[in-house]
Amino acid sequence: MEIAVISGKGGTGKSSISSAFISVAKSAVVVDCDVDASNLYLLFSPLCKEEEVFVSGSHAVVNNDKCTNCNTCIDLCRFDAISKVNGKIRISESACDGCYLCSRVCPVQAIKMIPADKSRMYAGTFRYGDMVYGRLAPGEENSGRW
Ligand code: SF4
Ligand code: SF4
């Protein structure tokens, strides 16, 4: 038997309902597909057997040696991820949404995009069977900020 518990909104009880079903199963294969906040591993503390890097979007990084301080990127970043500290451009990794805009408008190509690779996917076992789940690193791509 396959059971899917879904909702378009957080906080509606998906994890609670799922954990109730899981706790009466004799042998379950549990896949926590919540892209923003996978929670079932917190409830069941699985023993991790496999770990994989999950690349989720991109982050902007700046080469200040190339930057001419035109401020275009600061003015256009709608996530306020770019600031100037001691005269140098600084891009906040956690605030950057990976939209690519700054890398495209920079007149001297001082900004490049790199893969956001701090999130992880895991597979493990727990008292009711097997579990696949993930952990999204702060600021990495999720179901959308708009
Ligand atoms: S990629 Fe987008 S969100 Fe990230 S710093 Fe550049 S303009 Fe801002
Ligand atoms: S757009 Fe490019 S040159 Fe202008 S401030 Fe940003 S990084 Fe520097």
Tens digits of residue pLDDT in 31-86: 998 867 788 999 999 999 999 998 888 999 999 999 999 999 999 999 999 999 99
Co-location of 75 and 104 in the same domain: yes
Residues within 6 Å of ligand 1 by CB: 60, 77, 79, 81-82, 91, 96-102
pTM for the whole structure: 0.72
Query: Residues 125, 110: one domain?
Result: no
In ligand 2, the atom with minimum distance to the C-alpha of 74 is 6
Per-residue pLDDT band for 136 (boundaries 50, 70, 90) equals confident
Question: What pLDDT score was predicted for residue 145?
Answer: 45
> What φ, ψ does residue 39 adopt, rounded to 5°?
-115, -20
Burial label, 98 (beta-carbon count in 10 A; 0-12, 13-18, 19+): buried
On whether both 67 and 109 belong to a single domain, the answer is yes
Rounded Cα gap, residues 39 and 111, in angstroms: 35
Range of the domain at 47: 14-55+117-135
Ligand nearest to the CA of residue 64, numbered in listed order: 2
Atom of ligand 2 nearest to the CA of 68: 3
Kindly state whether residues 110 and 121 are assigned to the same domain: no
> Closest residue (by CA) to atom 4 of ligand 1?
96
CB of 134 closer than 8 Å to CB of 50: no
Q: Is residue 126 part of a domain?
A: yes
